[in-house]
Structure 1
Amino acid sequence: MNYESQSFGEEERLSLEGPEGPSRRRWWIIAAIVVAILIVAFAAFAMGGKDKGAGSEDPLAASKREGQIPTVSVAVPGRETVRNVISGTGSLAARREMPVGVAGEGGRVTRVLVEPGDWAKKGQVLATVDRSVQSQTTEALAAQVRAAKADADLAQSNLDRAKQLVDRGFISKADIDNKTATRDAAAARVRVAQAQLDEARARNARLDIRAPEAGLVLTRNVEPGQIVSAGSGVLFRMAKGGQMEMLAQLSEGDLAKVSVGVPATVQPVGSDQTFKGEVWQVSPVIDPQTRQGIARIALPYDKALRPGGFANASIMSGASDEPVLPQSAVLSDNQGNYVYVLNANNEAERRAVTLGDVSDEGVAIKSGLNGTERVVLSAGAFMNPGQKVKPNLVKLER
């Protein structure tokens, strides 16, 4: 009875499992392993994304989130001399340009003795004009002078002889008076002839085109064989003493900061040379169209300074004692420009500032700082007023 029951139970288990029972269990085990792997991979991906997001978070924000005090770089700017530089552009020109034309009656040009770029002395002949006719006139007037002098000498001799005979009674007092008048008239004719000769010589001298003052020849507009007259216009242009200038165009506000005598540097376009000069005249008027005026900068002669060329100018309009900060320390929003400074408790305080000139050294602060404050150099955009920080004092390089 028991044997039969035991045999029946074993047969029933085998019949329930069947021949595919072990294979089905293996598939369930494999499926459970795959699901476990997927769960682990998903968890790793989620943790990696979280770590990546935390790594890109700003250090100040992360420190604040974790309850730590962030460390920021600060510096005490102090004060230094800041030169106020005004930049302008304009053209080069001769400081005193001298147009040279025909002063006399003119004629045919026989020779041109200078070229552009040559130096000329005061009174030096630049070009000559044919004077063959004028020379003959001069010779005729010179002959008249000689004839008048001969007549005057004869009249003087007659007067001298008459004076010797008057005491003997051979010549009357009236004859002496006549001979004296004749002598005086002859002397007057000499003076008239001499004046006419001098006038002719002066006219002939004006036929030569001469330099009115010593200077540099800039242009030449005449050639040999050309017929010139008083209406021929300018034949030469010269720069008196070779002095040059730059006509720097400045805005109305910048022009008000410039005064006569301040130094300036000029750099012609296309050249790496700079030339030192000074402002010698400030325009008393402003162009109503461009709202600009002209500051004239005197420059010494140099062959690299070509009138008509374009140049850049830097004018020193003065100097001031101001704090200078790196550009990263200065922030801006709708309320204006500001910086963060640290108080005695190392808490950030917003400080409004007025900016001055910007240069390679940094930004000059015209007002808002006295130079003794501890100013946050960077990360100010991530700070809030009143936030406590740990300062790392650094020294600014000048």
Structure 2
Amino acid sequence: MKKLLLISAVFLILIVTACNEETEQKSEKIIPVKVFTIKLNNIENYVKATGTITGGEDVVLYSKVSERITNISVKPGDKAAKGQTLAVQYNAIFKQSVEAAETGVKSAQAQFNLIQQEFARMQKLYDQKAISNQQFDQTKTQYESSELGLQAAKVQLQQAKEQYANSFITAPFSGTIASVFVEQNQMAAAGLPIVQLINSGEMKAKVKIPSTEIEGIHKGQSVNVEFPSVPNKIYEGTVTEIDHAVDPISKNLQVEVELKKPDNLLKSGMFGEFLIKNAVKENSIIIPEIAIQSRTEVKIDRETGLQKSFKKYFVFVIKDGKANLLEIKPGISSDGRIEIISGLNVGDTVVVVGQNIVKTGDKVKIID
């Protein structure tokens, strides 16, 4: 019996020892991680915005009369000089009206000249009391009526000329034909769009910037612009205007950007992505952004009794072969890199792969 108890005790000791060894092996499990060693570096922060570019001068020319298109002298892509005729509407009737009005002015002018001479003669006779008041008043009335007739004839001529001129669609400035909306012999009612003209020598865009990110943006600041329709090319721009008031609904501020050297690849109406540099930090602690973990905490405001949530940020740092969780304060970020304002020092080794599985106190093995 004693022998049996002894054997059982030895067996139990062996089992306990084995379990302890297994537990120790588990507790001493080493986790492989990749790390980043901190050195001072520089970082730039960009505000990203989107917008549509327009020509510095961009106009749609409309028909001012209701007549048929008799001539279109341009097509999209053509260059046009200021004052150049781009399209013509049927205007024979308008031309006849001008000629008739010119004849009317000549006739009214000739009649006025005769009556003016007669009025001057009657004025002298009246001053000499050689004619009656009735005779003078009659001549004066004829003179005034003739003068009004001449003025009316001139107004009619001016209106006829304007109507005739309105049948010609002319370029108000030098530029490029962006669109032609009508065809030869098409009937064009007054108000119908005929041609779109742009001046591609100057391209601008108005973009919306969140008011929380406007700090650091100023007039004259450089902007990088990319267009999905023009791949693999970056255009340079400049901030030319910044609104003084924030939109009360969107909380955005409007910023105007002018492209420095637009080319023929850019067209008015193109959608672009704008990168505006609003901060530069030199000789700062910069780490890969993927190293950071965040946690949201909730506290009760003692004064209002309301809940307030805020985020805390952490990274794992390797010290003496073990992982240590440190709270940090992040700053600006760009292209997967982020500035650390406090919590880390130069030379610290930050976990960038394995940070989601490692825990404080875990032994780690740094791998390449």
Q: Does residue 192 of structure 1 match 2:192? A: no
Q: Does residue 211 of structure 1 match 2:174? A: no
Displacement of 1:221: 1.0
The one-letter code of the counterpart of 2:165 is A
> Which of residues 307, 331, 339 is equivalent to 1:365?
339
TM-score by length of 2: 0.65
> Which of residues 328, 335, 339 is equivalent to 1:353?
328
Question: What is the rounded CA distance, in whole Å, between the counterparts of 1:308 and 1:379 in structure 2?
Answer: 43
Q: Does residue 86 of structure 1 match 2:42? A: no
Any idea what the Cα deviations from partners look like across 1:16-52, whole Å, max 9, x if unmatched? xxxxxxxxxxxxxxxxxxxxxxxxxxxxxxxxxxxxx
TM-score by length of 1: 0.61
What's the % identity of the aligned pairs? 19
Residue 231 of structure 2 aligns to a residue in which SS? coil
What is the aligned partner in structure 1 of residue 273 from structure 2? 312
Q: Name the CA shift for 1:179/1:350 in 2 (closer, same or farther; >3 Å).
A: same
Q: Name the CA shift for 1:286/1:307 in 2 (closer, same or farther; >3 Å).
A: farther
Displacement of 1:281: 6.1
- Count of residue pairs brought into register by the alignment: 308
Which structure: greater helix fraction? Answer: 1
Q: Does residue 155 of structure 1 match 2:115? A: yes
Displacement of 1:133: 1.1
Q: Does residue 225 of structure 1 match 2:188? A: no
Query: What is the RMSD of the two structures over their aligned residues, measured on CA atoms?
Result: 4.4
Question: What is the rounded CA distance, in whole Å, between the counterparts of 2:188 and 2:205 in structure 1?
Answer: 33
Any idea what the Cα deviations from partners look like across 1:91-123, whole Å, max 9, x if unmatched? 5444664222112x2312222233323344555
Question: What is the rounded CA distance, in whole Å, between the counterparts of 1:168 and 1:333 in structure 2?
Answer: 109
What is the aligned partner in structure 1 of residue 68 from structure 2? 108
Residue 63 of structure 2 aligns to a residue in which SS? coil
Question: Is the Cα–Cα contact under 8 Å of residues 341 and 373 in structure 1 kept in the other structure?
Answer: no
What is the aligned partner in structure 1 of residue 143 from structure 2? 183
Q: Name the CA shift for 1:340/1:182 in 2 (closer, same or farther; >3 Å).
A: same
Residue 323 of structure 1 aligns to a residue in which SS? strand
Displacement of 1:84: 1.1
Q: Name the CA shift for 1:338/1:140 in 2 (closer, same or farther; >3 Å).
A: same
What is the aligned partner in structure 1 of residue 89 from structure 2? 129
Question: Is the Cα–Cα contact under 8 Å of residues 322 and 364 in structure 1 kept in the other structure?
Answer: no
Which structure: greater strand fraction? Answer: 2
Q: Name the CA shift for 1:95/1:369 in 2 (closer, same or farther; >3 Å).
A: farther
Residue 143 of structure 2 aligns to a residue in which SS? helix
The one-letter code of the counterpart of 2:338 is A
Return 5+ residue gaps in structure 2 as ranges.
1-28, 296-311, 364-368
Question: What is the rounded CA distance, in whole Å, between the counterparts of 2:114 and 2:326 in structure 1?
Answer: 107
The one-letter code of the counterpart of 1:267 is E
Q: Does residue 340 of structure 1 match 2:317? A: yes
Displacement of 1:196: 0.9
Any idea what the Cα deviations from partners look like across 1:35-79, whole Å, max 9, x if unmatched? xxxxxxxxxxxxxxxxxxxxxx97999xxxxxxxxxx99966346
Q: Does residue 302 of structure 1 match 2:297? A: no
Q: Name the CA shift for 1:247/1:192 in 2 (closer, same or farther; >3 Å).
A: closer
Question: Is the Cα–Cα contact under 8 Å of residues 322 and 365 in structure 1 kept in the other structure?
Answer: no
Displacement of 1:239: 3.1
Displacement of 1:220: 0.8
Question: Is the Cα–Cα contact under 8 Å of residues 46 and 334 in structure 2 kept in the other structure?
Answer: no
